[in-house]
Amino acid sequence: MREMNNGDNIKILVSGDSISKGVIYDETKNRYIVLQDNYVDTISTKIRCSVKNVSKFGSTITRGIGKLERYISKENPDMVLIEYGGNDCTFNWDEVADNPYTDHLPQTEIKIFETALRETIELLKNIKVTPVLMTLPPLNADKYLEWVSKNNPIAQSNILKWLGNVAEIYYWQEKYSLVISKVAEETHTKFIDVRSAFLQFPDFTKIICRDGMHPNRNGQKVIADKVMDYIKTGYDYLLIKKPSTI
C-alpha cells in the first residue's frame, strides 16, 4: 500500500450508497433528507486530511465501483472506504408482492457481490491505494416489511408468503454483511465492523429510521464513532490535536 505518514497530504475517498451519503428519513418532513452531520461530514471535521464523498443514493456495488476508477484517477486518494450491500441484497418488492410463488433475484446476486468486492480490492491494491471495507448495519425486519409493502396488508401478506418468515429479511441481508467480513479476512484487507457496533445496543432498532434500513441521526453517530476508532487505532497522526488546557 502507499505509504501514509505525517508529511503526506492524505486523501480519503468514500464510495458507498445512501448510508454513506448520509440519507435519513425525516419524520417531521415525511421524506428522505441528507443529514448535515452525517458520519462522513463528522469524521472530516476531526481529521486533518481531505475526505471526498462520492456515495450515491440507491447505488449498488456494480454501479458504484463502475465509477470508482474515474474518481481514483481524478482524486488520487490514499485510502478508499467501501460501503455497499444494502441495495445489492434487496429485491423488487412490488414484483414479489404481485408474484409470491415465483423465483425472484436480488439487485446483485451474492456471488456477483463477492466477486465485485474482490476485484475492487485487487484494483486498489495494485495501484497502491488502501481499501477499507465496511460491514452493514442490521435491518429492523418488521419495519422494513411495513415500508416495502407500503403498509398494504395484501402486499405484506404476499411478501410473507414468499419469504416464509419476516426474520428472513434480516438473515438475508446479514449474509451480504458476512460476505464483506469474509472477503476482508481472506484478502487481508482492513474492515470497519459497523454491524457489531449497532448490535452492541440493547435495542438497535432505536437507531434505525422508520423505514427499517437507514441509520437515523444517532445511528450515523454510531458509524462516525466506529470509523474514528479505526482511525485512532491505525492512523492517529491524522487526528486534529486540540490544544491542551491548563
Residue 16 lies in a domain: yes
Residue 125 lies in a domain: yes
Residue 157 lies in a domain: no
pTM value > 0.85: yes
Q: 110-131 pLDDT, tens per residue?
A: 999 999 999 999 999 999 999 9
The CATH number linked to 229 is: 3.40.50.1110
Residue 151 lies in a domain: no
- Helix-, strand-, coil-residue percentages of the chain, each rounded to 5: 50, 15, 40
Number of H helices, E strands in the chain: 11, 7
Residue 166 lies in a domain: no
Q: Is 109 left (phi over 0), alpha (psi -120 to 50) or beta?
A: beta
The count of structural domains within the chain is 1
Residue 11 has a pLDDT of 95
**178: which 3 cell numbers?**
458476512
> Which residue range(s) make up the domain with 135?
11-93+108-139+173-237
Euclidean distance between CA atoms 20 and 18, whole angstroms: 5
Tell me the pLDDT band of 6, cut-offs 50, 70 and 90: low
Residue 160 lies in a domain: no
Average pLDDT estimate for 66-90: 94
Euclidean distance between CA atoms 149 and 111, whole angstroms: 27
Residue 148 lies in a domain: no
Average pLDDT estimate for 160-183: 98
